[in-house]
Amino acid sequence: MRKIGKIEVETMSEEHEVELVPDSHAASTAPTENTAATDAERSTEDAVPRTGQRSLLGWGRVAHVFARELCSENLEEISKQAVLSRGLGRSYGDASLPAPEFGPALSTRFADRILDFDSETGVLRAEAGLSLRDLLHSFLSSGFFVPVTPGTQFATLGGCVASDVHGKNHHRDGSFGEHLRSLKMRVADGRILVCSPDHEAELFYATLGGMGLTGHILEVELQMARVPSPWIWQKVKHFDNLESLFVALRSGSAKWPFSVAWIDGLTAPGREHGILMLGRWAEADEAPRKFPKPRKARTVPFDAPSWFLNGLTGRIHNRLHSWTHRNSVGIEHPETFFYPLDHVRDWNRLYGKRGFIQYQCILPHEEEGYAVLRFLDLLRKLGADPLLCVLKDFGAQGKGMLSFPKPGFTLCIDLPYRGDRTQNLVDQLNEFVLAEEGRIYLAKDLHTRAEHFFAMEPRFEAWNEVRRRWDPQASIRSALSVRLFGDDA
Ligand SMILES: Cc1cc2nc3c(=O)[nH]c(=O)nc-3n(C[C@H](O)[C@H](O)[C@H](O)COP(=O)(O)OP(=O)(O)OC[C@H]3O[C@@H](n4cnc5c(N)ncnc54)[C@H](O)[C@@H]3O)c2cc1C
């Protein structure tokens, strides 16, 4: 334990430094580690350097690349050889996978030290592999929270920067990059440098949402948010009419810092319904006196059969979800509010060995959210069974050159993977999104075709120019950049 300001933080001693390359006996089909490093893994016994390849997977477990993954607390060292950095592998598609046959990736999950914290200003400096979970365990009790959090706490700071993640407060606070002070990076020519809005600004803004392709992020300096209590004040409201839900989501966003809607995407036309959740940090005098205990998670111990999650089980789940989320106002546990899916570890295994995809797009705002209704109609027409359907209200576009958010409704849907049918489905959804002048989120993507992506992303050329200035040979490369950006395989 080490004290930084008022905050006690776990730190690793130098003797524990390891250089670990997983061995070739690791089952090639087994998922790669996607939890924060455990003490056992860090022990010197495990620190024998080994060589070999393993199957690295995206969170949807459809994309995989057979490759070496370098793991060490010493990111400066392993970033000399790696062709891509990855965090906890929570991106659903191929963003965190190295280009096939191209070279080792590095995993940042052992490099998770908090390096500095100023309790007066709330500015934090930490290694890129620090997970939001560890960060929150150290800071929430002292009245600080991350300014923007995605829907999982199993994401690293580096992953949050590279995807420029958004949260339920995008309409008010923008995305993760808005709260960054600086980044320490190793760039393709081998140099280590610090970039910020004032220094090497182009590199800084190309890295926000740049999906790891502008360099290896080694350290992150971030402005943390002060919170009045560790609890959330939440309002839940059920809607039997989606148009009313969309109007309430927009007006709720104008008043509340956090907003999100869940939609039952498996109903017949005319029977749609959904739930609006609005939240803010509870004031000290409203909050329970005790600190919220970390929630115990259950683990899915094995892969469910691939038919397990289907339209029928989805409908049963949606009924239960509606039942358990009736109209209410009151205190909510922060983990339940921000990270409902984290209550079940490895929940991606419920989709079976074939895996699943998440499709996330933005549909620019228009009166009453009719584009979202047309999108849901299209899903029905295409026979898709969206097992999860979540809607958020985005605010202004940020400064990240390739960051996903812009004003509009963003819709995330989970779909079981069905081979060519899934490709065909994504093609048709992308045609729709293009016609609506929307775009898709690279952190979730696996099936978008390059021509659709370029048509949605007039910003790509400018971003790619910056990337190529820093890395003319595209020596930092991912499976995604080969599929979408024209990098050589
Ligand atoms: C349940 C769930 C809910 C989610 N909810 C949201 C949400 O609400 N909003 C949202 O925006 N996203 C959401 N996501 C997506 C997730 O937040 C992002 O994919 C995030 O990038 C994952 O972080 P990671 O550490 O696992 O990164 P990885 O998945 O390992 O990598 C993601 C990208 O970051 C790059 N990268 C990672 N570390 C570094 C580094 N040190 N240097 C350079 N590049 C790096 C990788 O190359 C890759 O391109 C969710 C994911 C899950 C599983």
pLDDT tens per residue across span 303-350: 888 888 887 788 888 888 888 888 999 999 999 999 999 999 999 999
**How close are the terminal C-alpha atoms of the chain, in Å?**
45
Q: Which of 152, 179, 214, 390 to mutate to test the pocket of ligand 1 (most atoms within 8 A of CB)?
A: 152
Residue type, 395: G
Residue 372 to residue 366: CA distance in whole angstroms: 10
- The closest-lying atom of ligand 1 relative to the alpha carbon of residue 443 is 19
- Ligand 1 centroid to Cα of residue 248, in Å, is 29
Please tell me the predicted confidence (pLDDT) of residue 368. Answer: 62
Domains contained in the chain, CATH given: 114-227 (3.30.465.10), 232-455 (3.30.70.2520)
Residue 152 to residue 312: CA distance in whole angstroms: 26
- Ligand 1 centroid to Cα of residue 160, in Å, is 5
Atom 35 of ligand 1, residue of closest alpha carbon: 212
Minimal CA–CA distance to 172: which of 196, 147, 153, 136? 147
Please tell me the predicted confidence (pLDDT) of residue 268. Answer: 80
Q: Which of 110, 165, 220 to mutate to test the pocket of ligand 1 (most atoms within 8 A of CB)?
A: 165
Residue 187 to residue 207: CA distance in whole angstroms: 11
Residue 440 to residue 359: CA distance in whole angstroms: 8
Please tell me the predicted confidence (pLDDT) of residue 314. Answer: 84
Instruction: Give residue ranges with CB within 6 A of ligand 1.
Output: 59, 84-91, 95-96, 108, 128, 150-152, 155-156, 158-160, 162-163, 165-167, 211-212, 216-217, 341, 443, 478
Please tell me the predicted confidence (pLDDT) of residue 36. Answer: 60
Please tell me the predicted confidence (pLDDT) of residue 323. Answer: 81
- Residue pair 150/160 in contact (Cβ under 8 Å)? The answer is yes
* Number of other CB atoms surrounding residue 180 within 10 Å: 24
Q: Which of 86, 112, 258, 476 to mutate to test the pocket of ligand 1 (most atoms within 8 A of CB)?
A: 86
- Ligand 1 centroid to Cα of residue 402, in Å, is 15
Q: Token pair of 150, please?
A: 């995605």
Please tell me the predicted confidence (pLDDT) of residue 242. Answer: 92
- Ligand 1 centroid to Cα of residue 271, in Å, is 35
- Ligand 1 centroid to Cα of residue 92, in Å, is 8
* Number of other CB atoms surrounding residue 368 within 10 Å: 14
Query: Which residues of the chain, if any, have pLDDT below 50?
Result: 1-33, 40-50
pTM of the model: 0.91
Q: Which of 62, 96, 300 to mutate to test the pocket of ligand 1 (most atoms within 8 A of CB)?
A: 96
